[in-house]
Amino acid sequence: MSALIPAWVDGALVPVEKLEAHRRGLRHKAISVFVLRGNRVLIQRRALTKYHTPGLWANTCCTHPHWGETDLDCAHRRLNEELGIGGLDLAHVGEVEYRADVGGGLIEHELVQVYTALAPAGLAVVPNPSEVVDTDWMTLTALMRKVERSPELFTPWLRIYLSDHLTRIFGPEALDVATL
């Protein structure tokens, strides 16, 4: 049985099993985090055992809050569970809604609370191998170029964030990067 997450059914927010929400394409709550160090963003390659989008590169971390869990608590929990990162000051930078086919008959229809955090010097990143296969610190310019050249290597949501929500996540100066 998968975790119960907040999803909308017939206009009401109710607890639904995560896998069921994805099978039915229900609009549901999610969080996404981007950890930044100077002009670099921490990205992760999803574990090969993930039930959707295995082995694809994604933002620092993303997940769904458990039923009754706050979005901010969820973001902190998941940074620790996936990457062994704790104690960051997360800044809420907005809300994004998207719908994407993630393969295997599953649909992500998410209302996402997006957070950013600045990584302190010496931040240790310790990926949980059941969640994350690899990590990389990439400049936004390099990331956008790589996504443009090989979109199939990246999750649908990361592609959506970069194409449709760049300045909301990374600030107005990100437009300068997008035109390089």
Which residue, 70, 96, 64, is CA-closest to 164? Answer: 96
- pLDDT tens for residues 3-46? 899 999 999 999 999 999 999 999 999 999 999 998 899 999 99
| All structural domains of the chain | 4-178 (3.90.79.10)
Instruction: Specify the pLDDT at position 173.
Output: 79
Query: Which of 61, 62, 82, 108 is the catalytic position?
Result: 62
For 140: left if phi > 0, alpha if psi spans -120 to 50, otherwise beta; the answer is: alpha
Q: How far apart are CA 6 and CA 157, in angstroms?
A: 19
Catalytic status, residue 62: yes
Which residue, 1, 14, 30, is CA-closest to 99? Answer: 30
Is residue 8 within 8 Å of 28, Cβ to Cβ?
Answer: yes
Residue 129 scores a pLDDT above 50: yes
Residue 179 scores a pLDDT above 70: no
Percent of the chain clearing pLDDT 90 (strictly above): 90
* Sign of the alpha-carbon torsion through 82, 83, 86, 92: negative
Residue 180 scores a pLDDT above 60: no
β-bridge partners, 62: 32
Which pTM value belongs to this model? 0.94
Q: How far is CA 87 from CA 102, 110, 118, 123, in A?
A: 31, 26, 11, 10
Instruction: Specify the pLDDT at position 1.
Output: 44
Catalytic status, residue 74: no
Q: Cite the beta strand spans of the chain per DSSP E.
A: 4-9, 12-17, 27-37, 40-46, 57-58, 61-63, 91-103, 106-118, 132-139
Query: Which of 61, 82, 108, 110 is the catalytic position?
Result: 110
Instruction: Specify the pLDDT at position 175.
Output: 66
